Structure formats: structure tokens, C-alpha cells
Amino acid sequence: MTKESTVPQHPSVDLAPFPPGFRWSAATAAFQVEGSRTADGRGRSIWDDFVDAPGAVRDAATADPGPDSYRRHREDVALLAGLGVDRYRFSISWVRVQPEPGGPVLQAGLDYYRRLADDLLDVGVTPFATLYHWDLPSAIEEQGGWLSRDTAERFGEYAAVVAEALGDRILHWYTLNEPVSTSLQGYAVGTLAPGRQLLFGSLPTVHHQLLAHGLAQRALRAAGAEEVGIVNNHTLVLPASGADADVTAAAVYDVLHNRVFAEPVLVGSYPDLEAFGIPPMPVEDGDLELISAPGDFYGINFYNPTTVADAAQGSPVPFEIVPTPGAPVTGFGPEWPIVPASLTELLLDFRERYGDRLPPLVIGENGASFPEPEHVDGPVGDGDRIAYLAGHIDALGAAVRAGVDVREYTVWSLLDNFEWAEGWSQRFGLVHVDFDTAQRTPKASFDWYRSLIAEARS
């Protein structure tokens, strides 16, 4: 069966603000698309542990085989060539390359990423690799994971291994993806791997991830990388009302979700955490200089704004996330409101807040999931996704027109994939994937994005 769209298939997008050379990209991540969890000596990550924990993932879904990109990556490369993107953002699985910290390197894993990069280059698509997209080796988590400073050192070693092996063909790099998700969802509330529930006790993971970024950036630069930066999920934080308590709650959440990650990288210091009742970071001499070494870009993943209210009496944290009034939602429901203009406001806020310390920006992810059939026998009409993407590209264009230096826009995701704790229930792809057969079927949004890219270049 196919899904009929209930919204226009071809909303117009104003491409005038985007300068010549602006890049259009698509993304995936290793654990979400590769499958082959035990192939060729691949080690075990915290996401293997999380998937295997009873009740952790919706419908007890596992990440195998899914799109099976480890064995079928050439199909993905052909799709990318047909889409016409400038770059493909994918991630390198730490445990596919180095299952044990400091242990032997798996040649089969490196060979896979070498083939992927070469095949991309052969069709004119630039490989844009992410060193870390959440798949921490289980052996490192057992030793403290991101709560331990030693994990940053191990990550620096892993970065050097990958840079030496692949740096001759992959010149563009993200170091870490969304440290906020690892810290807040993985270690603070436990909805993502490793499933810890430490609340404010999770905060050392922020500093250790940023330190890992600094070490990785140094290793990649030493290997000749042309472009290196970190990418975080950022959100426009909205107070639920003008009441002082809601405004204060929103300010605390803005620090925890946005500022505590951006400011060490961009300005070399943490915000005044104690002023918000937040414990200080475990900073040692030289850390902030390493973390704030200038990047070639700063990556922003954006999906939705976040409306915040004062917490209920007895809450362990001083804020509560509430629905955004009047906003339509994606397949995640009220948790993911659709307000494209909030992307414009966020980018303008970044320019105002960080000024000349802000490097060129890259939108590292933007997309939406909506209910779609598991099996299809023809094209999928996903007009709701097209409307979401069009709205956010227009919102990005408004920021560019206002003078924000944004160089790239990336759709999440090229493929329907394993959506973490939601399993296979949330489909983000421009391409439908039958998770029983790995059959790929481009959706209407694929054709729409292809046409938009072609028009932008004309």
C-alpha cells in the first residue's frame, strides 16, 4: 500500500538568499543503517547493550538488518548520486574500527569506510564523516563511559587511528554528534544509551565530550583534514508564559541544552553555572584552550523549538517541557512541534550572542518523521515531510538573508532507519526502507529535494 499525502506536493521555496556554492546534503548514522552487528569482528557498543535491555526499545526492535548499508552501501551511493547532493554525512562506528579501547584495529571495518568514501568520490559526492554518533564501546562504558576523563583520551587515540587510515580520502569531518543528547538523554534521564538516570550528576559527560572534540580536532588537523567541527542539537527555548518563574525555568533549560555546549567551543568558557544552581564542570588547566581551538565550522542540528515552564512542586529539576501552543507536530507528537520560524530566530540569536567568535554554520541535520506504511508497492506520497523541509529551508534562507553565514543544509535522513529507542516506528527518510527486505523506494520528498537542488544550481 502507499500513503496519500494530504498537503501540497511541491510547496515553493525561495532560493534567492542562498549564494552560489551553498551545499545541499543528506545524512545517516552507522548504528542506524549499517546492520551487520556482529560482522567482521565488530565489537559491542552501548547501543547493542541498550537494544538488548528488556523494554528499552519500542516493540523490542533491534538494529538488524534494517537498511543493511554495511552490505548494500552501493545502493545508497547510487541514490545519493541520483539525488544530486554535494555531500553525504555518514558516521564511522568506533566498535567496527576498534572494538576495545587501545586494542587492535579491525582492517575489515576500515576497508568498509574506505570503499564507501571511494564510491562517493567516484560519483562526485564529497564524504563528510562523523567520528562519533553515540556508539561508545561497551568496554569503555564499563570503565565509566563519558563520566570518565579517560574516555576523552581514548577517543583522541581512536580519532588518530581513523585519521591515519582514511585521512587521504576523507577531508571533511564532524568530531562528535549531539553531545547534548548523550548527556541529557543518555546519562541524565536514561531514555537513550547508556540508560543512566543521574540528573545533574551527568554533567561531567558534557566536559569530557567537549574535551574529546578538542583532542579529535587536533588529530584530524595533524592528518591533513581540510574541514573539522563539532555538531550539536540546538533548540530555541520558549518560556510557557511571561511569568517570572517560567522565564527563569526557560533560562535554566537554555543553559543546559544550548549554552553549556556552545560556549566552551565558541568563546572558551562555560556560562556561570552556579548562578543557575548547576554544579561546575571538572575543568583542568589547558582544557578550555583545547576545546575552543577555532573550528572550520559550527554544526547545528535543528528539529523543533522547546517550550519550558516552571517545574511542579517536588520536581527533581527546575523546569518542565510542555507542548508548544498552536503548533502542528510530527510523528513524535507534542514532543516535536513544527515551527520553522524558530530556526530563523535561533540562528539570529547565535549571531547576536557570539558575534565574530561564530565560525560559518552548517545545518548538520533537519527533518521529520511521519506515520508511513511498513511495506509499499510504489512511490510514497509524503507531502507532510515536503512541507516540513520547505518551511525550514525558507526559514534558513531568512537567516541567510539577514546576514547569518550558513554554508550547508543537510536533510535527516537519506533512509528510513533505526530511530534509537523508538526502534523502527519513526520514519525520517527521503527513501522508504522495507525493514524485512531492505528494499529501498524513493519517496516524493526525494524527488522534491532533487528538484530543489537542481534549481538551486541553475
**Helix locations, 132-243, DSSP H:** 138-141, 149-166, 179-180, 204-222
Active-site hit among 141, 227, 263, 365: 365
At 15-41, the pLDDT tens digits run 999 999 999 999 999 999 999 999 999
- Phi, psi values for residue 361, rounded to 5°: -100, 150
At 63-79, the pLDDT tens digits run 999 999 999 999 999 99
284 is catalytic: no
Select 23-457's CATH number: 3.40.50.920, 1.25.40.10, 3.20.20.80, 1.10.540.10. Answer: 3.20.20.80
Terminal Cα-to-Cα distance of the chain (whole angstroms): 36
Which residue type sits at 274? E
Return the closest-CA partner of residue 236 out of 300, 330, 326.
300
The ranges assigned to domains in the chain are 23-457
Between CA 433 and CA 411 the distance in angstroms is 16
Active-site hit among 178, 263, 408, 419: 178
Q: Buried (b) or exposed (e) across 370-392, using 16+ Cβ within 10 A? A: bebeeebeeebbbbbbbbbbbbb
What was the pLDDT predicted at 7?
37
Within 225-351, strands assigned E span 227-233, 237-239, 298-301, 306-309, 320-322, 329-330, 333-337
Split at pLDDT 50, 70, 90, the class of 379 is confident
Contacts of 152 (CB under 8 A, 6+ apart): 208, 209, 211, 212, 215
Split at pLDDT 50, 70, 90, the class of 101 is confident
Between CA 92 and CA 86 the distance in angstroms is 19
User: C-alpha cell of 405?
Assistant: 553565514
- Over 70: is that where the pLDDT of 4 sits? no
178 is catalytic: yes
What was the pLDDT predicted at 6?
38
Question: What letter would DSSP give residue 341?
Answer: H
Return the closest-CA partner of residue 203 out of 186, 228, 226, 225.
186
Return the closest-CA partner of residue 180 out of 368, 83, 306.
306
Lookup result for grid cell 525493514? 435
At 109-123, the pLDDT tens digits run 999 999 999 999 999
Question: pTM of the predicted model, to two decimals?
Answer: 0.96
